[in-house]
Structure 1
């Protein structure tokens, strides 16, 4: 069976075309009452959750322009801009979780 074609809609965060793998992100976290989802690249999804806590996403998450303007995400978005749709690398854990132990 052939791979499904890439989605026609762009990634909600980086605005690049979506590839074969698409994840659904809750701009307002489910734990904070969010129900709506948006399509994102897996790498963009992991970067959002590695950068922001659920409380921060609740405050900023429904406005992608505010997220894109955040210094940490602006650097990521500049770096990812020229990468292919299915580009992926390992994402570091959220900064606040680095001190935690399993």
Structure 2
């Protein structure tokens, strides 16, 4: 068995590096919590390659409310999504919640 060097014991005294600041959500702008979903604004089925960080509840709301073809038309333009009345109400409501907040999402009325 190998012997431990004295330096191995001294590593515990070093201060830990600070965690990086949380990444803001692409839709609502709030800091993300412990769970981050990497969302494709342009769906992969429509050729989308870029991803953006989002809260799970924000992603569920977008996926529930828009079809893939609608999301493809919006592309990376988050303002187009925020102009929708339902999404604007959702973002105003979720702005008061903590970053790890999660709730069931209601389906779009068709």
Instruction: Tell me the TM-score normalized by structure 2.
Output: 0.77
Q: Does 1:54 align with 2:68?
A: yes
Instruction: Tell me the TM-score normalized by structure 1.
Output: 0.83
Q: What's the C-alpha RMSD, in Å, of the aligned pairs?
A: 1.6
5+ unaligned residues in a row in structure 1: which ranges?
Answer: 97-102
Contact map agreement 2:22 2:33 (CA 8 A) in 1: no
Q: 1:66 offset after TM fit, Å?
A: 1.1
SS in 1 for 2:96: coil
Q: 1:38 offset after TM fit, Å?
A: 0.3
Q: How many corresponding residue pairs?
A: 92
> Between Structure 1 and Structure 2, whose CA radius of gyration is higher?
2
Query: C-alpha separation between the residues in 2 aligned to 1:95 and 1:18?
Result: 29
5+ unaligned residues in a row in structure 2: which ranges?
Answer: 1-18
